[in-house]
Amino acid sequence: MKEIKNTGVGLVILLTFIFAPAVSSAQFGAGLTADMTGTINNAINANVNTNSDVDASIGDNNSNIDTEGSLQVDLENDSETNADTESNSKALLKVNSSGVAVVSSFQVNSESDLEIFSSNVPIEKEAVAKVNINSNNEGESEVSVVYRHKGKFLGFIPITIKSTTTVEAKADAEIEVSSRLSWWSFLVANKNYVKADVESRIKNNSTVNANVKVNSSAQAKAQIAEAVIAEIEAYTNTQTSVQ
């Protein structure tokens, strides 16, 4: 009986040594988890409070940004937009087989160069809407320039209206110059355009007269287009300065 009792006491002591570390570890883990959870919660609360303070501060300053900074921001955006637009326009320029972006009559050496020139001029010159250069089998040629003019619709609404000016070389060696505005031009004031004046300037232009002939070269046609643009531009600027 005494041996059984001693054996029981020994088992109790043995079990105590076995399970005591496990219980202590569990208690320690629970305590550590609680401590870490508390620390994390505190950090989150502190971060939320800080962000709330920042948001509140930004909210308080929004009125100042809108009222005092809007003009400067708008101007900067406009500048960046213009720079981007110019950059994009340059990227749109066509090039010939030699990799040259043909934008001048002096760069035109073939009919293919002339086509590229006609496409690139409206990109290079904002006021020019289109350049068309055509020839027929008889050697007659037609150079047409569509130009943008600023005006006032009904006398007070800023608007852009287009003129179309054409120079034709006839087979009988005659030169014909015609110019017209859009049909609704009578509704536009201050458009800096008078049909008779524009046609007269182009008919008397020495470059036009020297190059308008049957079977004109590609470069000659490009020079006519440049002369037409230059005359319209000069006339428009002169009328603008007079007003």
Q: Examine the domain organization and report whether 84 and 113 are in the same domain.
A: no
**SS3 for 154?**
coil
Q: What is the pLDDT of residue 112?
A: 95
97 domain-assigned: no
- Distance from C-alpha of 58 to C-alpha of 63, rounded to nearest angstrom: 9
Model pTM score? 0.63
Q: Examine the domain organization and report whether 140 and 37 are in the same domain.
A: no
Q: Examine the domain organization and report whether 130 and 156 are in the same domain.
A: yes
Q: Examine the domain organization and report whether 80 and 110 are in the same domain.
A: no
pLDDT tier for residue 35 given thresholds of 50, 70 and 90: very low
The percent of residues in the chain predicted with pLDDT above 90, rounded, is: 46
Q: What is the pLDDT of residue 10?
A: 46
The tens digit of pLDDT for each residue in 217-230 reads 999 999 999 999 99
Contact 216, 141 (CB under 8 A): yes
Q: Examine the domain organization and report whether 65 and 127 are in the same domain.
A: no
In this predicted structure, the answer to whether residue 198 has a pLDDT above a threshold of 90 is yes
pLDDT tier for residue 174 given thresholds of 50, 70 and 90: confident
- Distance from C-alpha of 142 to C-alpha of 167, rounded to nearest angstrom: 6
Q: What is the pLDDT of residue 191?
A: 84
Q: Domain count for the chain, please give it.
A: 2
- For residue 150, the enclosing domain spans 105-242
Q: What is the pLDDT of residue 37?
A: 43
Place of tokens 């308080």: 60
Final residue of a structural domain among 92, 119, 154:
92
Q: Examine the domain organization and report whether 55 and 169 are in the same domain.
A: no
Q: Examine the domain organization and report whether 22 and 88 are in the same domain.
A: yes
Q: What is the pLDDT of residue 30?
A: 43
99 domain-assigned: no
161 domain-assigned: yes
Q: Examine the domain organization and report whether 224 and 117 are in the same domain.
A: yes
- Distance from C-alpha of 140 to C-alpha of 117, rounded to nearest angstrom: 19
Q: Which of 145, 147, 129 is nearest to 221 (CA)?
A: 145
In this predicted structure, the answer to whether residue 152 has a pLDDT above a threshold of 80 is yes
pLDDT tier for residue 173 given thresholds of 50, 70 and 90: low
98 domain-assigned: no
What is residue 127's DSSP assignment?
Answer: T
Q: What mean pLDDT is reported for the chain?
A: 73
Q: Examine the domain organization and report whether 226 and 147 are in the same domain.
A: yes
Q: Examine the domain organization and report whether 236 and 178 are in the same domain.
A: yes
Final residue of a structural domain among 35, 61, 92:
92
186 domain-assigned: yes
Q: Examine the domain organization and report whether 3 and 81 are in the same domain.
A: yes
The tens digit of pLDDT for each residue in 93-151 reads 999 999 999 999 999 999 999 999 999 999 999 999 999 999 887 788 999 999 999 99
Final residue of a structural domain among 92, 114, 131:
92
100 domain-assigned: no
- Distance from C-alpha of 10 to C-alpha of 14, rounded to nearest angstrom: 6
Q: What is the pLDDT of residue 32?
A: 37
Q: Examine the domain organization and report whether 232 and 144 are in the same domain.
A: yes
67 token code pair: 């009222």
**SS3 for 49?**
helix
